[in-house]
Amino acid sequence: MISLQHLSKTFETGNKKVEALKDVSVEIQKGEIFGVIGFSGAGKSTLIRCVNLLERPTSGKVFIDGTDLLSLNKKELQKIRRKIGMIFQGYNLLKTATVYQNIAIPLQLEGVPANEINERAKKYLSIVGLEDKAKSYPSELSGGQRQRVAIARALAHEPEVLLSDEATSALDPTTTEQILELLLKINRELGITIFLITHELNVIQKICDRVAVMEAGEIVEQGTVVDVFAKPQHPRTKSFVRNKSVFHVPAHIQNELAKTGKLVALTFLGESSKEPFLAAITKKFNIMPSIIAGGIDELKDQSIGNLLVHLRGELEETEKAIAYLKNEQIIVEEVGSI
Ligand SMILES: Nc1ncnc2c1ncn2[C@@H]1O[C@H](COP(=O)(O)OP(=O)(O)OP(=O)(O)O)[C@@H](O)[C@H]1O
Ligand SMILES: [Mg+2]
């Protein structure tokens, strides 16, 4: 659906050059929710703005449904942009217009007939749960409600793709949850493909199917959310995933435990969680396991179990136990060792 190929973008201000994107390639499939996560300045907004050419890449190609956007003239580009809705952290609502007008005015400019504008405004205000706020002004709404208006405004153009640039970053955790639920509903019920960028792991975890991790203008890792959570490879990905998980062990505890055995992070996916593996390794090998921490990460369609276990014992025995666990389809990563 969206194919970003070898995108690079260099900003030149005065004699300073910033390489905001360096050879970034991403494929987004129809119907999925794809997230890009990265710290501030990683190049996320620049990337998402390339999708509708709000930002023109210095090099590389942008395809939507096979159409090469960079080859289009102004009129053709305008037409294809109608397939693409966008929402932002700051909502970008017209302050002097009512909720209804915020939705209606852009449709009027596009030449949509008046009766259809009315129908669409009603329909999408109802989808976002704000039927009763049509006559309110943005200043009379909460942040979450304003974002709902922005979402209704984007949906009213009946796009195929919704781009979201940090849409929940200014909201509190409960409101964030509600907006994420709404985005899921839009994806499932209206079949709209969503491409979002965020610095919050929570957003990726709750609603995304696939994720790319960005750092300093590059994508350093991408894959399904399940794979990236269960087996993060790049240090930046690990810092995102591990920072919130039970595997984040203070150094002094890690050092202390490492003196008497191995500290291992165990990850359980699907079938690997049914056996009483701790009892099994205690029986089979000369080790004493103890649980240091544990938790479950709820992803969109799956849960991942995390357990931090100290295997007290001699090196040889702990290694045998680790081999046994790996054989049981448990993902094992050593956090510290003798
Ligand atoms: N119009 C511009 N002119 C010059 N430099 C720019 C411009 N837009 C972005 N940059 C630079 O490009 C880099 C990437 O910026 P970008 O806004 O894409 O990051 P981001 O990942 O979205 O960050 P944040 O999470 O803070 O929004 C930054 O170093 C930024 O200063
Ligand atoms: Mg940004």
* pLDDT tens-place string over residues 261-312: 999 989 988 765 567 888 999 999 999 999 988 888 889 988 888 899 999 9
CA angle 209, 229, 219 (to 5 degrees): 70
The alpha carbon of 20 and the centre of ligand 1 are apart by a number of angstroms equal to 6
The alpha carbon of 167 and the centre of ligand 2 are apart by a number of angstroms equal to 10
How high is the pLDDT of residue 274? 66
The tokens describing 171, both together, are 């909201």
Would the pLDDT of 337 be above 70? Answer: no
Closest by CA to 1, choosing from 60, 63, 71, is: 63
The alpha carbon of 211 and the centre of ligand 1 are apart by a number of angstroms equal to 20
The tokens describing 34, both together, are 């794809």
Average pLDDT estimate for 155-175: 94
Ligand 1 atom nearest to CA at 55:
1
The tokens describing 145, both together, are 């409600």
Choose which residue among 4, 15, 18 to substitute to test ligand 1 binding: the one with the highest number of ligand atoms within 8 A of its C-beta. Answer: 18
pLDDT tens by residue, 238-275: 888 877 667 777 888 888 888 899 999 899 887 655 67
Other CB atoms within 10 A of residue 247 CB:
22
Ligand 1 within 6 A of CB of 261: no
Ligand 1 atom nearest to CA at 13:
4
Q: Going by CA atoms, what residue is nearest to atom 24 of ligand 1?
A: 40
Ligand 1 within 6 A of CB of 18: yes
pLDDT tens by residue, 214-229: 999 999 999 999 999 8
Helices 143-155, 173-190: axis angle to 10 degrees equals 20
**Sign of torsion over alpha carbons 89, 206, 127, 154:** positive
Ligand 1 atom nearest to CA at 45:
22
Distance CA 29, CA 58 (A): 24
Q: Going by CA atoms, what residue is nearest to atom 11 of ligand 1?
A: 20
Distance CA 217, CA 215 (A): 6
Distance CA 263, CA 333 (A): 9
Q: Do 171 and 143 contact (CB within 8 A), yes or no? A: yes
Q: Going by CA atoms, what residue is nearest to atom 16 of ligand 1?
A: 43
Distance CA 309, CA 6 (A): 42
How high is the pLDDT of residue 8? 97
Closest by CA to 135, choosing from 90, 104, 173, is: 104
Mean pLDDT of the chain: 92
Q: Is the pTM of this model over 0.75?
A: yes
pLDDT tens by residue, 121-152: 999 999 999 999 999 999 999 999 999 999 99
Closest ligand to the CA of 14 = 1
Would the pLDDT of 189 be above 80? Answer: yes
How high is the pLDDT of residue 338? 38
Strands in 2-13's sheet, in edge-to-edge order, are 16-28, 2-13, 59-64, 67-68
Choose which residue among 7, 10, 44, 213 to substitute to test ligand 1 binding: the one with the highest number of ligand atoms within 8 A of its C-beta. Answer: 44
Distance CA 144, CA 205 (A): 20
pLDDT tens by residue, 75-120: 999 999 999 999 999 889 999 999 999 999 999 998 999 999 999 9
In the three-class reduction of DSSP (H, G, I as helix; E, B as strand; rest coil), residue 86 is classed as strand
Rounded to the nearest 10°, the torsion over CA 155, 196, 248, 223 is 120
Other CB atoms within 10 A of residue 284 CB:
12
How high is the pLDDT of residue 295? 87
Closest ligand to the CA of 44 = 1
pLDDT tens by residue, 6-40: 999 999 988 899 999 999 999 999 999 999 999 99
Give me the DSSP letters along 251-300.
HHHHHHHHTTEEEEEEEEEGGGGSS-HHHHHHHHSS-EEEEEEEEEEE-S
Q: Going by CA atoms, what residue is nearest to atom 4 of ligand 1?
A: 11
No. of H helices and E strands in the chain?
12, 14
Choose which residue among 9, 37, 45, 203 to substitute to test ligand 1 binding: the one with the highest number of ligand atoms within 8 A of its C-beta. Answer: 45
How high is the pLDDT of residue 258? 82
How high is the pLDDT of residue 328? 87
β 303-312/288-298 pair status: antiparallel
Distance CA 81, CA 77 (A): 6
How high is the pLDDT of residue 244? 63
How high is the pLDDT of residue 245? 64
**DSSP letter (8 states) at residue 138:** G
Ligand 1 within 6 A of CB of 41: yes
